[in-house]
Structure 1
Amino acid sequence: MQVWYPSPGADPFKQEDFLQLDPELEFDREVYPLGLLPNAGVVVGVSQRMSFSACTEFPCFEPSPQAQTILHCLLRHLLQRDKREEALRLAQLSAEKPHFSHCLEWLLFTVFDADISRQNASKNRTAASNHATNSSLLEKTCHLIRSFPEYFDVVVSVARKTDGRHWADLFTAAGRSTELFEECFQRRWYRTAACYILVIAKLEGPAVSQYCALRLLQATLDESLYELAGELVRFLLRSGREYEPATTDSENLSPRFLGYFLFPSSFKRQSVDLKSSSFKEQSAHIASVKKILESHASFLMSGKELSKLVAFVKGTQFDLVEYLQRERYGSARLENFASGLELIGQKLQMGTLQSRLDAEFLLAQMCSVKFKEWIVVLATLLRRSEVLFDLFRHDLRLWKAYSITLQSHSAFTEYHDLLESLEERLWSIANSDEI
């Protein structure tokens, strides 16, 4: 506490000594310290804020409790003095405390930011010497944080907060971006691995980043992480245009693009037009994207995993209509109405709102390509009598087959009221036509 809050005593700090303290070891000067809270790893203090009351014209000052983490300051303090074992023991004791990951991230950021500032401040010999010392501190910091599983998230989060021009220095100390990506990939930490894609593009080149992104795309589809898969698809389609040799502008790879993976909701979605004429002109990895997406769509459609199919289409913006037109007699085909109605009803679990919304979405897609087999099944599950009536009034043979099937299977007794309603409407329209 004396280091950060000098106070009078037997051997008080001199003012000039206080001014020379490392600014990163200072705390908020507007917070008066009251003590330490070891279980949380914070300094507890109090600050005041001004408030106004209707009963008086004078302002009131209200005390407000404040807390500030100390772990990153203590670790930096120890590492600066080359006390690595002590720093590691302290970090291990604090690993279960709240905001541990944030403290590690703040530690690495402050060390790295000081390194960047020192580089920009001066180019003389003294500055170069200090820079060498601070680079050593950066390596010590990375070595310390690597002892914890938060390391991979911490490193890429710090990269996101800094200019891409300095990434090479960070990853020289932290490890090659491709190696960090591979470790995340093997541990199935796919969201963290995705954050390394743009770093790899900057440091290792677009070809390497595209290869990593394709591998990650397949893995995220296998795990049904469709929102993340959609971000990877958009990155791969974008990289075919932005990462060409003629346009390797550093702005294209600035840290703000990491938001694609960390904060997808803040970016406007772009539709994935895989069938446009420009698609044929894209590089081979774009064709690989299309192949991967179509293969996964066939897998879901063949297994009648329709809820996953809807999530896949919405997450990746996959062109389901074009796929259905091509696969009408392939993976999208329904061999038998009765078995299809029973299986799809079990898969969709129509008792939930989300399943009904998924079925409505699929019905709209099937209607757009006039896929009768699927329209009949989905409209029956949704009890959309107007859709069925419009279909059967122009195809009475289909109506007869439909009616016989529902009446002959005991599993479909719940649809008999729907059948009676349709029969009555079709009979009335038939009579009016005869008149």
Structure 2
Amino acid sequence: MRQNVNKNQVSVQKQNVSLLEKTCDLIRNFPEYLDVVVSVARKTDGRYWADLFTAAGRSTELFEDCFQRRWYRTAACYILVIAKLEGSAVSQYCALRLLQATLDESLYELAGELVRFLLRSGRDFEQSSTDSDKLSPRFLGYFLFRSSFSRSSLDKSPSVKDQSAHIASVKNILENHASYLMSGKELSKLVAFVKGTQFDLVEYLQRERYGSARLENFASGLELIGQKLQMGMLQSRLDAEFLLAHMCSVKFKEWIVVLATLLGRSEVLFDLFRHDMRLWKAYSMTLQSHPAFAEYHDLLDDLEKKLSTTANSEDK
């Protein structure tokens, strides 16, 4: 009796798998196929994912299809599936690739989700004991993604056995992107990047004060940053305020002067110059000697009055 029941169960399972395969074959040629498969997976108990992706295609291959088409949001949805079916090492490797790609495309909210996944999976890694987790990302990448990976990207992949290296890989990707944005003075993107990924801008500024965050020249910096930020727009002013607050927290004078000037924040400049009159004189001469900075002359007059009043009060 029990044997008959077991045979019936096996028969039903085979019929279900066969039906699933036929369904996948039917919709495979539609452009929505990759979205449909992962949407079904998200609404299905994870215990049935193996059957689903046996019929629909290997999760890593579907991820790769999304990645090559730059369907990064859909690709991100496959990460959890890959983690369950292929192991943490593979999912982390895919997520690192996707993180770099989303940063390159300025998709910072999605990048933030990937960062949180990577940091969480890094902490949880030791709890995983599947065979896939014991393989290095480089080894897995050779078989799964050899057509689309450069040697340099493989060499930079984190060691699965060393989670501090894994976390360092995430931080390295984020810091490199921050340096890229800071060097190009892409400040609105920098703000979006910091907010989206929760990147520690203060720590970065402290470390890169004389590196990628350095301003070589006040006049050229003011002109370039003014052009980049387009201060006539409300969002740009909010971005500048955000950056100014961070620059003030690390006492980064060069940036404080530029951003406060663009924002017309005379109180910030006054507080800075009253303790450093040499800086005030250099600032005043620069703005007066450049015709392009005529718009700041009212700000100069206001500062000069405040500083003169303060000097007279101290003399008395």
With the shorter chain as reference, the TM-score category is 0.7 to 0.9
What displacement does 1:124 show?
2.9
Counterpart residue number, 2:121: 239
Amino acid in the other structure paired with 2:82: I
Structure-2 separation of matches of 1:179 and 1:282: 26
Structure 2 counterparts to residues 133-152 of structure 1, below 5 A: 133-152=15-34
Displacement of 1:247: 7.4
- Give the deviation of 1:286 after TM superposition: 1.1
Equivalent residue number for residue 418 of structure 1: 299
Counterpart in the other structure of 2:243: 362
Q: Equivalent residue for 1:182? A: 64
- 1:329 is displaced (CA, Å) by 0.5
Deviations 1:358-410 (A, max 9, x none): 00000000000000000000000000000000000000000000000000000
Shift in alpha-carbon separation, 1:289–1:328, aligned structure 2, 3 A: same
Which of 252, 272, 288 in structure 2 is aligned with 1:371?
Answer: 252
Q: Distance in 1 between matches of 2:69 and 2:212?
A: 33
TM-score if structure 2 supplies the norm length? 0.87
- Post-superposition offset of 1:282: 3.4
The equivalent of 2:89 in structure 1 is: 207
**Which residue of 2 is the match for residue 168 of structure 1?**
50
The answer for the alignment partner of 2:73 in structure 1 is: 191
- Consecutive unaligned residues of structure 2, counting only runs of 5 or more, are 131-161
Which residue in the other structure is 2:233 paired with? 352
Q: Which stretches of structure 1, 4 residues or more, deviate above 3 A after TM superposition? A: 245-248
What amino acid maps onto 2:125 in structure 1? Y
- How far, CA to CA, are the matches of 2:13 and 2:252 in structure 1? 68
Superposition pairs of residues 17-416 of structure 1, within 5 angstroms: 123-245=5-127, 282-416=163-297
Q: Distance in 2 between matches of 1:293 and 1:327?
A: 14
What is the distance in 2 between the residues matched to 1:233 and 1:182? 19
SS of equivalent to 1:334: coil
Equivalent residue, structure 1, for 2:141: none
Offset, 1:163: 1.1
SS in structure 1 of the partner of residue 44 of structure 2: coil
- Cα distance per residue 1:4-52 (max 9 Å; x no partner): xxxxxxxxxxxxxxxxxxxxxxxxxxxxxxxxxxxxxxxxxxxxxxxxx
Q: Quote the Cα distance in structure 1 between the aligned partners of 2:128 and 2:73.
A: 30
Alpha-carbon separation, structure 2, partners of 1:361 and 1:191: 28
One-letter amino acid matched to 1:375: I
Q: What is the CA-CA distance between 1:241 and the residue it aligns to? A: 1.7
Q: CA RMSD in A?
A: 1.3
Greater fraction strand: 1
Distance 1:173 1:246 in 2: 26
- After superposition, give the CA deviation of every residue in 1:326-348 in whole Å (9 maximum; x if it has no partner): 10000000000000000000000
Q: How far, CA to CA, are the matches of 2:254 and 2:164 in structure 1? A: 37
Normalised TM-score (structure 1):
0.63
1:432 equivalent to 2:299? Answer: no
User: SS at the partner of 2:106?
Assistant: coil
State the identity as a percent: 85
Q: Following the alignment from structure 1 to structure 2, what is the Cα–Cα distance between the partners of residues 247 and 386?
A: 59
Deviation of 1:202 (Å) = 0.3
Q: Distance in 1 between matches of 2:120 and 2:9?
A: 41
Residues 88, 128 of structure 2: 8 Å contact kept: no
Structure with the bigger percentage of helix: 2
Q: In the alignment, residue 13 of structure 2 is paired with which amino acid? A: H
**In the TM superposition, what is the alpha-carbon distance from 1:285 to its structure 2 partner?**
1.8
- Tell me, yes or no, if the aligned pair for 2:287 and 2:297 is still in contact at 8 Å: yes
CA distance in 2, matches of 1:283, 1:184: 29
Structure having the higher Rg: 1
**Displacement of 1:246:** 5.1
Answer yes or no: is the 8 Å Cα contact 2:103–2:177 preserved in 1: yes
What does residue 61 of structure 1 align with?
none
Deviation at 1:135, TM superposition (A): 1.4
Structure 1 residue 242: Cα displacement: 1.8
Q: Which residue of 2 aligns with 1:106?
A: none
* 1:162-196, Cα deviation, whole Å (9 max, x unpaired): 11111101000001000000010001000000000
